Structure 1
Amino acid sequence: MAKATWFILVELLLLQCASYFCISQGYDFFYFVQMWPGSYCDTKRGCCYPSPGKPATNFTIHGLWPHFKNNTVPSNCNEKSHYDGTKILDLFSRMQQSWATLACPRNNGTRFWSHEWEKHGTCSESVLDQHSYFEAALNIKDKVNLLQILEDAGIRPDDKFYKVEDIKEAIKAGTGYNAAIECNSDPSRNAQLYQVYLCVDASGKDLIECPIIPRRKCNPSVQFPIF
């Protein structure tokens, strides 16, 4: 009887660990990813400005993505935890300014934020609830003014080409940490500065040196397009 009870307890524990709680608490750090809107729009796909209008000429948040040090990526960790805009009403204006969507058809960003929460945010839910998750990303964005950092180094969105190594060095000088650069291509197949990856500790508060630098393809020199 005692043995049967023990097996039942083990089964219950395994079922609990298959639930979102045991899954969602597993991650080591975040990738904080900012995107240059000019590069998103200057592709064959094009873009649509969000319903509030054209975003500011600045980097915009793509996401805050939990990651493991063994280079595996948790995702969709709690199918029951849906995006709820009522939980972030006080962040809405900041979200529209700093986490704008450029996807078509034109929209106010809700679909994009929902995707980011359900795919990525739920995997950090043991540390950050929905409000805290979005607020953490916004606060990091406020701390890391990428455009200003690059402009201070003479790297401007003027359609000119810049060396990727110079971009990385400027970001290291401005933040104290190494960044990864992701590029895309315009319709003429010119490589463009598209996204910048920095790493954040598991609390979602502080930049850290990336345990793993994501490898993204880029030409030695890339265009920094006007937006």
Structure 2
Amino acid sequence: MKCSYPRVVNGFNIHGLWAQLWPNTEMNKCGDGPKYDNNSIKDIFLELQREWADEKGFQHPWKFWNHEWTKHGICVIWKNSVITDQHDYFAASLKLKKMYNFTAIFERNHITPSNTTLYDTASVLHMLKRDLGADVWLHCSWKSGDYAKLVEVRICVDKFFNLLNCPPDTSRLEILSATPHLAWTRPCPNVFFVSL
């Protein structure tokens, strides 16, 4: 599938806000909860289109938002007294993007989009730790034989949006040997491109 990126995306795109049982058990599909409702986010709809675009079907981003709400948002409202409904969930995601503006952080540290410049993963993680005061996760996508491209910077926060040190990232490592010909989002290898 060929991806086409919406012009409205401003730097890094929001992928989601996911609840976790600390330190590293992701919660999802928490059962029945309030159904997704476009009307509850009318006041932030345009901002969501700009900052949380669905890169595979951006003509209808609410399909992706519905997926994220159903899979993750319901879990967040059950485990977080600050986020109590769908509007809070999406507004909190926008707030986090503004609070931790990775586009600005990367620019300030001279890390710019390029298909020719490789960045050292350990150096970028060190820079982010210095800048933010917390450990984060870098996730890349690549196929066997290709260089990786940074696709996600994941942060860990408490229910009041204070940064926490993310625990060591062991996500999806078990899939690597089973399907080496596919592009997965997984912890970045030693070097990667930044392609925004």
Task: With the length of structure 1 as denominator, give the TM-score of the two structures.
Answer: 0.71
- Give the letter for the 1:89 counterpart: K
Inter-partner Cα distance in structure 2 for 1:65 and 1:191: 24
Q: Which of the residues 75, 87, 107 maps onto 2:59? A: 107
Q: Which of the residues 39, 54, 57 maps onto 1:86? A: 39
Q: Is the 1:76–1:120 contact (alpha carbons within 8 Å) kept by the matching residues of 2?
A: yes
Q: Is the 2:10–2:50 contact (alpha carbons within 8 Å) kept by the matching residues of 1?
A: no
Deviations 1:19-55 (A, max 9, x none): xxxxxxxxxxxxxxxxxxxxxxxxxx321344xxx13
Q: Is the 1:83–1:114 contact (alpha carbons within 8 Å) kept by the matching residues of 2?
A: yes
Alignment CA distance shift 1:94-1:172 (3 Å): same
SS of the residue 1:219 aligns to: coil
- Give the letter for the 2:154 counterpart: Y
SS of the residue 2:168 aligns to: coil
Structure number with greater Rg is: 1
Name the counterpart of 2:155: 198
Name the counterpart of 1:134: 90
Cα deviation, residue 79, structure 1: 2.5
Further displaced range: 67-76 or 190-199: 67-76
Q: Which of the residues 172, 179, 187 maps onto 2:129? A: 172
Q: Is the 1:96–1:108 contact (alpha carbons within 8 Å) kept by the matching residues of 2?
A: no
Inter-partner Cα distance in structure 2 for 1:213 and 1:119: 24
Q: Does 1:222 align with 2:158?
A: no
Name the counterpart of 1:147: 103
Name the counterpart of 1:65: 18
SS of the residue 2:192 aligns to: strand
Structure with the greater relative contact order (CA < 8 A, sep ≥ 6): 1 or 2? Answer: 1
- Aligned alpha-carbon RMSD (Å): 2.0
SS of the residue 2:96 aligns to: helix
Q: Does 1:123 align with 2:79?
A: no
SS of the residue 2:156 aligns to: strand
Inter-partner Cα distance in structure 2 for 1:114 and 1:85: 9
Inter-partner Cα distance in structure 1 for 2:144 and 2:26: 31
Alignment CA distance shift 1:118-1:158 (3 Å): same
- Give the letter for the 1:81 counterpart: P
Inter-partner Cα distance in structure 1 for 2:30 and 2:187: 29
Percent identity (aligned): 32
How many residue pairs get aligned? The number is 176
SS of the residue 1:91 aligns to: helix
Name the counterpart of 1:48: 4
SS of the residue 2:49 aligns to: helix
SS of the residue 1:62 aligns to: coil
Inter-partner Cα distance in structure 2 for 1:145 and 1:192: 19
Unpaired runs of at least 5, structure 2: 171-185
